[in-house]
Amino acid sequence: MDEDLFNMEIRKYLKKVGVSSQREIEKAVREAIRAGRISGNETLKARMALTIDSVDLRYEIDGDIALS
């Protein structure tokens, strides 16, 4: 295995995940505020799941996202 290539590929993937996840969270929160499902003052519980079937990886990260 080429460790340098592996490291670069992981970083590219995580950057893609980070950018697209942020966009989706922002879109969902703005829509929920518009629809009145949340007020915009909450702290949201979040969970991210990472799965790679071929190596049997299942990893979850829990966290909070404060809106104000």
The pLDDT, as a whole number, for residue 35 is 98
3-state secondary structure of 68: coil
Local confidence pLDDT in tens for the 68 residues of the chain = 999 999 999 999 999 999 999 999 999 999 999 999 999 999 999 999 999 999 999 999 999 999 99
What CA–CA distance (Å, rounded) separates 29 from 40?
Answer: 8
The pLDDT, as a whole number, for residue 36 is 98
Where in the chain are the domains? 3-66
**DSSP secondary structure letter of residue 1:** -
